[in-house]
Amino acid sequence: MPGKLGILAGGGDLPRRLAEACRASHRPYHVIAFRGEAEAARLEGEPLDWTEVTQVGRTLGLLRERACAEVVLAGRVRRPTLAALKPDMRGALLLAKLLPRLLAGDDGLLRIVIDELEGEGFRVVGPDDVLADLLTPAGCLTRIQPDEAARADIGRGREVARALGIADVGQSVIVQQGIVLGLEAIEGTDALIDRCAALARPGPGGVLVKLRKPGQDRRVDLPALGPETVRRAAAAGLRGIAAETGGTLLIDRDAAVAVADAAGLFLVGIE
């Protein structure tokens, strides 16, 4: 049996799903939720402490107090602005390392976070280490399958998403009839979908393509989608979603597939 798991919780449903997986396997766990990111309603009834993203010393102290051996980073955490940084003493010691990364991409910043946790003796694991069926499987998961035009849009989206990832900018792109409608940056996938709804052209809808960044540490910030992503895609007039097989998190797979089937969208895992 692995040691007690500390769930560092941001926004979205992933922290709750990991807690449910721990309960199902009788694994001890404790949730440490970030104020302004995690949603209290989703974590109701969980063993829980609240902290701030920049309270590094408090977070490490809570992990020790709750006797956590392993740590998983789960859910959305927005990158803080320089003006919003109010670190505790331990956080201030990290500031010199973090500042260059705050002004650049996300991957180096997350690498520093992992190194700090591991330097304190915690083992950092990925969400899929806790909940094995989180990763997107290969092939089409829905009744509707992509046609030739949609497959061409997926191919175009794959090329653009890889270039986006190499630049450490984002993980998602929307393509319609070969035209790139939008790229994901700091706004996130939901805002990208909403923004592209107003840019849609007449004819078959666009395709959302999600890939992890090349060389990305698989334990943190893997691209994720779930039922809400599918609902937004349908509302925006998209015809389907393609996500990297084994490289994206598909949260609540059965519900996501059911929503896609009901809306007439395809959901497919791509290499």
Q: Is the pLDDT of residue 53 over 90?
A: no
Average pLDDT over residues 171-187: 92
Same-domain check for residues 103 and 169: no
Task: Please give the model's pTM, rounded to 2 decimal places.
Answer: 0.81
Split into its structural domains, the chain has a count of 2
How far CA 159 is from CA of 152, 185, 208, 209, 242, in Å, comes to: 11, 16, 13, 10, 13
Give the model confidence (pLDDT) of 199-209 as tens digits: 999 999 999 99
Domain end point (choices 131, 161, 195): 131
Predicted confidence band at 187 (pLDDT cuts at 50, 70, 90)? Answer: confident
Look at 142 and 216; give whichever has higher pLDDT. Answer: 142
Same-domain check for residues 98 and 217: no
Average pLDDT over residues 131-160: 94
Q: What is the pLDDT of residue 98?
A: 56
Same-domain check for residues 121 and 238: no
Q: What is the pLDDT of residue 123?
A: 93
Predicted confidence band at 216 (pLDDT cuts at 50, 70, 90)? Answer: confident
Average pLDDT over residues 85-106: 55
- Identify the three-state secondary structure at position 160: helix
Domain end point (choices 131, 157, 182): 131
Same-domain check for residues 192 and 254: yes
Mean pLDDT comparison of 118-122, 178-182, 248-252, highest-scoring range: 178-182
Q: Is the pLDDT of residue 11 over 90?
A: no
Average pLDDT over residues 50-72: 89
Same-domain check for residues 126 and 173: no
Q: Is the pLDDT of residue 71 over 60?
A: yes
How far CA 268 is from CA of 90, 139, 197, 245, in Å, comes to: 44, 5, 21, 9
Average pLDDT over residues 85-95: 57
Q: Which among 208, 202, 247 has a CA at the least distance from the CA of 231?
A: 208
- 15 lies in which domain range? 5-131
Same-domain check for residues 236 and 173: yes
253-263 and 227-235 are packed helices; what angle lies between their axes, rounded to 10 degrees?
A: 20
How far CA 58 is from CA of 54, 91, 138, 154, 181, in Å, comes to: 9, 9, 41, 44, 42
Q: What is the pLDDT of residue 95?
A: 58
Q: Is the pLDDT of residue 133 over 90?
A: no
Residue 187: alpha-carbon gap to chain centroid: 13
**Amino acid, res. 150:** A
Predicted confidence band at 79 (pLDDT cuts at 50, 70, 90)? Answer: low
Q: What is the pLDDT of residue 218?
A: 76
State what percent of residues in the chain have pLDDT above 90: 56
Q: Which among 247, 194, 193 has a CA at the least distance from the CA of 224?
A: 247
Same-domain check for residues 105 and 230: no
Domain end point (choices 98, 113, 131): 131
Q: What is the pLDDT of residue 168?
A: 78
Q: How far apart are CA 93 and CA 169, in angstroms?
A: 27
Average pLDDT over all residues of the chain: 86
